[in-house]
Structure 1
């Protein structure tokens, strides 16, 4: 039987929404502060120094991708799909569970596992890999690489999150709050830094060293370490790999500007060999 508190929450979704908005504001501030600090740290003492032109193109392209993607998603009001899904969340797995820390923790664990599985699928299925490879096309490795995604990739993730809200039965604002928290970890494991006791930390969360392997040019290496926050999923499913990649990026893929980044999603690596000259290329 539901408690009076849970009944009140069910009949007044503004209570859950206000909690979600509070977490969203807090985690957005945390994410922004994390980005600025990591950007400063890797500029001051980077783990690996890339060629000036490569690093410059990387930051410029990644930043423009971030601005373009957010402009498009806002214009299409794609996030509204997310909140429409919330209207059907009353049949989900955790719907009857009282809102609080236990439910938040379970939601976080299920969400992190879901994104791990989605990330794994993005490497294994050609259609998903076409758009996800955009993220791996960066020849450098820095905190702005966390912005380097194709608009279609982000849109598909919105649909995935809608399904998550409905199936798990949680407030959409809570999922957005978790997503903002995970954004801080995305900045962290993309940072061009090395940390003391990183090998110990990596037993629990994805670190730069683990994710750097994920951005290796070699497919045998970048098909690993799919986790976003927790590294336990890679350990459980046997996808963890600890190596130092000799090269970052993809051999047959080049994206030195936003236009190239967008059109690369429509080409496979095999097609790239024959059609690369049709894509605008930056001056060398």
Structure 2
């Protein structure tokens, strides 16, 4: 299925809604890039910032080539096959079902994000996202291809369990993408603290990218901040340092292979962790 498929819902102007959502996501990305350049919240070392943007963009291009087709086809295929069998299948297609689908999807991503920090195997790949020494819109592209692949499987399971229509899941993903761009932006604005009571803002997600594990194990939400409030994972503070202390990557090749080197490995190499008795 294509995002411009004529079977998808259309706006009053005759445009497929998913095409509108995609345009909004692209517009949001470009606008945030401009805003960051004009008035950044924090100024990072110029060389480090440049390496970040280049590495993140390269990761996006690589991941996009490998996974875009798989992501779309798998989610669409699963949704087409199982949308009539899930928990929400008994509801008539309309605003109530759409809102419930969004809430459940956002909660599922929260749980997945939490698990990616707590499970050692998942963290092996997710830590690539946290290895950025700066914080900017392109950080939202900085993911390991295996991290994204496993996430696809999780989203397919979500579609099967809850029975969400293909066009709805795509629309939700594009909305979530827009928010990923937003909360990774190097910006600050008036009343951000009030807005953060409802959605994840740059200030909240900046804490999530702290170099300290005790700080970055928090604020797991993607769109709504209520999940962190409900489950006690919300933290409001200004991190002294962004990134990971023992993990660095100055280019995409290093970024890819960092997934196969854990902090424990690095610690042993540096002599920071005492060797066990023989």
Q: Same fold (TM over 0.5)?
A: yes
Shift of 1:270: 1.4
Q: Aligned residue for 1:244?
A: 238
The answer to whether residue 66 in structure 2 is matched with residue 72 in structure 1 is yes
Shift of 1:44: 0.8
1:151-162 counterparts in 2 under 5 A?
A: 151-162=145-156
1:54-203 counterparts in 2 under 5 A?
A: 54-74=48-68, 77-86=70-79, 87-203=81-197
2:6·2:16 contact (CA, 8 Å) conserved in 1?
no
Unmatched 5+ stretches in structure 1 = 1-14, 277-284
Report the 3-state secondary structure (helix = DSSP H, G, I; strand = E; otherwise coil) of the residue aligned with 1:91: coil
- Label 1:171 to 1:17 Cα distance change in 2 as closer, same or farther (>3 A): farther
User: In 2, distance between residues paired with 1:141 and 1:114?
Assistant: 25
Q: Aligned residue for 2:202?
A: 208
CA RMSD of aligned residues (A): 1.8
User: In 2, distance between residues paired with 1:120 and 1:16?
Assistant: 37
User: In 2, distance between residues paired with 1:84 and 1:176?
Assistant: 12
Report the 3-state secondary structure (helix = DSSP H, G, I; strand = E; otherwise coil) of the residue aligned with 1:146: helix
Report the 3-state secondary structure (helix = DSSP H, G, I; strand = E; otherwise coil) of the residue aligned with 1:217: coil
1:58·1:139 contact (CA, 8 Å) conserved in 2?
yes
The answer to whether residue 12 in structure 2 is matched with residue 19 in structure 1 is no
Number of aligned positions between the proteins? 262
Runs ≥4 residues deviating over 6 A: none
- Label 1:121 to 1:269 Cα distance change in 2 as closer, same or farther (>3 A): same
TM-score (normalised: structure 2): 0.90
